[in-house]
Copies of this chain bind each other. A is one copy, B any other.
Amino acid sequence: MKFLDIGEVSAQSGFRPSALRYYEEAGLISSVSRHGLRRQFPPEVLLQLKLIAMGKLAGFSLEEIAGMFGRNGTPDLPRAGLHQKANEMDRQIRELTALRDTLRHVAECPAPSHIECPTFKRLLEVAGQRSAVRKNITGKQR
């Protein structure tokens, strides 16, 4: 079996060795053995790292990512938990879309005051939903 040195994993994943060690420490990935001192990573780690990269891009903390895909790379969470995460992401996608549309809008709209503009108001609605949700999230903000 060909295992990977940290350097190869780094080269193929784009994460720095220091980050990979940090992730291992944090339990997001794991090396299977040592060759001398050197960690030996199984090839699957590359897949895991792709998932981690996506999770990060999606704005999840390492802890949350670890919660989604256990150290085995595929999730060990109860289905309900995964569905809940997915639902949260739906909300986030809607928000992101609204913000994107808002950016496009203000880039184009020649209206003197955006506050009058229907597109801007649509944004406000979405933001409004958000502030309701925010209450739930507040504990996290603390």
Known contacts A14-B131, A50-B127, A115-B47; A57/B103 CB under 8 A: no
Identical chains bound together, number: 2
Contact A98 B54 (CB under 8 A): yes
Contact A83 B100 (CB under 8 A): no
Known contacts A51-B127, A127-B53, A130-B50; A79/B93 CB under 8 A: no
Q: Identify 22 residue pairs between A and B in the complex whose beta-carbon atoms are under 8 Å apart, listed by A's number.
A: A13-B131, A14-B135, A14-B141, A47-B115, A50-B127, A50-B128, A50-B131, A51-B123, A54-B95, A54-B123, A57-B92, A57-B95, A57-B130, A58-B96, A79-B107, A82-B103, A82-B106, A83-B103, A83-B104, A83-B107, A86-B103, A89-B96
